[in-house]
Amino acid sequence: MGHLQGFKHIIKLIALWVTFPLVVEAQTPPANDEAIDEILQRTQKFQIEKYQFPIADTGYVKLRMAFDKFEAINPKVLARLRKQKIFAIDLVYTQFPKKRSFDKLNRKRLVNLQQYLPRKIQDTEIAWRHFGQNSCNTYAEAYQLFHGLVVYFYPLKDTINAPFVVIGADNPELVLKPDTLPAVAKPKYDLTNLPLLDAQNIDYSHPRTFYQIAQQKYLPEDSTVFKVFERNRWDSMLVVVDWTGSMYHHGAQLLVWMEVFHQQKNRLRNFVFFNDGDGKTLGEKIMGQTGGLHYASAQSLDVVIDAMHKAEKSGKGDDTPENDIEALIKGVRRFPDCKEVILIADASSQIRDYPLLKELVRLKRPIRVILCGKEMMPDYILLAYYTNGSLHTIDQDVTEMQTKLRNGEEVEVGNTLVKIKKKRFHMKLTSPRYKKRKRRRKK
């Protein structure tokens, strides 16, 4: 009997070790002060009303702590991070009383996290932020808010999640006025001796290429952008362009459109070329602050080409999701007089900052999404729907999308059928047989 009890005791110990592997590591408390100091030196600090979590519930874990305590309440959640790459960590506390310093408490919270993840948090690619919630006037209100650390990890199958950040006037990209754009000296290129552009000899790494495109009116086989602009009579446009490698030949079609329709130049007002961070590493890309936005007035071909070249030269991203919504929000805020907002998007790329969609919807600007490429991510369908915008492909304009779907209609976008059933989106790929039947019905 005694042997049996001893055996059961050993089994319990093994189960405890397997179930709570982090607890064993947490009992090695000596703090690495140098590592903590280094983290604090590169930590960005913000004051906000209330910390907002992403819409999606994957891609991050919440390490909860009490209002005025540094011990983790639920350290077991960190077990999920053992095989994941952490790219951002937010420390969230409540700034109440208003004049109290929380520096010592927050340092202890980092030390507590260090006990569980001593090596992982020393990764220099992790972006650190402190958020002080300052909307409370009583302790009762403060106790109800979240306190602790939010750890974001990657990779995941779904779009990267990161916290919702209110983009304020403290961002220098927003306070610059359109008339402060620097004057660009006109480059002098002798284009007469250059060969005609084709898919084999085109080189987007040199600005003269863009002059050639405009001069020779070069259009690639997939001329989606040019055809969409031909079909739609948009006026006073802000055009936001995904300016990453796969999109150069699509965005450059704007130069041909500007040249062909030069008498209607006023229809184009401003451009934003975005490259998802100007070469930032994955860990440096924080939602709403990824950057890599290059602005230009459409009234000068030189200014547009200079912005294109700078965006191309600076953009060396290391992953495929893009900061489309950040570019849209900052573009609209910088150029509020535009009547139409056009997004030229890579249909096959995910939207990195999709949780910022709420902030974009508040601006009440319909987004006209031009989809380049054959494969289409559902992100853009939802973007057009929630902003009451439209979707455009090389041969199709899908307008009044929000009204049609809310009325129970089925909407076809490219090779995808979209319908709302029981307040949920349902999307399915169409077959060639379906398209044949549809053409017969039209006849």
Say which CATH number the domain at 325 has: 3.40.50
Least confident segment among 102-111, 234-243, 263-272 = 263-272
Query: Which range of residues forms the domain containing residue 59?
Result: 10-154
Flag whether 247 is in a domain. yes
Per-residue DSSP letter, 349: S
Residue 129 is assigned to a structural domain of this protein: yes
123 and 200 co-located in one domain: no
Number of domains in the chain: 3
Task: Tell me the per-residue pLDDT of 278-291, one tens digit each, with 9 for 90 and over.
Answer: 877 776 778 888 88
Give the pLDDT band (50/70/90) at residue 34: confident
Whether residues 185 and 296 share a domain: the answer is yes
184 shares its domain with 325: yes
Q: How far apart are CA 392 and CA 372, in angstroms?
A: 9
Tell me the average pLDDT across 120-133.
Answer: 87
Query: For residue 187, which of 217, 171, 211 has the smallest C-alpha distance?
Result: 211
Say what the pLDDT of residue 397 is: 93
What local confidence, expressed as pLDDT, does residue 155 receive?
42
Residue 44 domain-assigned (yes or no):
yes
Looking at the structure, tell me whether residues 209 and 357 fall in a common domain.
yes
Residues 85, 192, single domain; the answer is no
Tokens (6 digits) for 26: 């947490």
Residues 433 and 317 in one domain: no
Closest CA to 286 of 117, 400, 114, 165: 165
Query: Does a structural domain hold residue 161?
Result: no
Query: Which range (46-60, 178-192, 285-299) has the least confidence?
Result: 178-192
Is 160 among the domain residues?
no
Residue 171 lies in a domain: no
Encode pLDDT of 52-68 as tens digits: 876 555 578 899 999 98
Q: How far apart are the first and last CA of the chain?
A: 86
Whether 1 is covered by a domain: the verdict is: no
Same domain, 183 and 251: yes
97 preceded by a cis bond (ω within 30 of 0): yes
Give the pLDDT of residue 364: 94
pLDDT, average across residues 33-58: 81
CA pseudo-torsion sign 226, 231, 236, 242: negative
SS3 category, 238: strand
Average pLDDT over residues 1-28: 40
| Same-domain pairing of 37 and 133 | yes
- Specify whether 277 is located in the same domain as 408: no
Q: What is the pLDDT of residues 236-269, one digit of tens each?
A: 999 999 988 778 888 888 888 887 765 566 788 8
Across-strand partners of 398? 391
Work out whether the CA dihedral 12, 13, 15, 19 comes out positive or negative. positive
The stretch 6-22 carries a mean pLDDT of 39
Residues 183, 141, single domain; the answer is: no
Report the distance separating Cα 427 and Cα 417, nearest Å.
5
Top-confidence residue, 163 or 191: 191
**For position 132, what pLDDT does the model report?**
92
Residue 1: DSSP 8-state: -
Strand order of the β-sheet with 424-429 is: 411-413, 416-421, 424-429
Residue type, 318: D
Tell me: do 100 and 148 sit in the same domain: yes
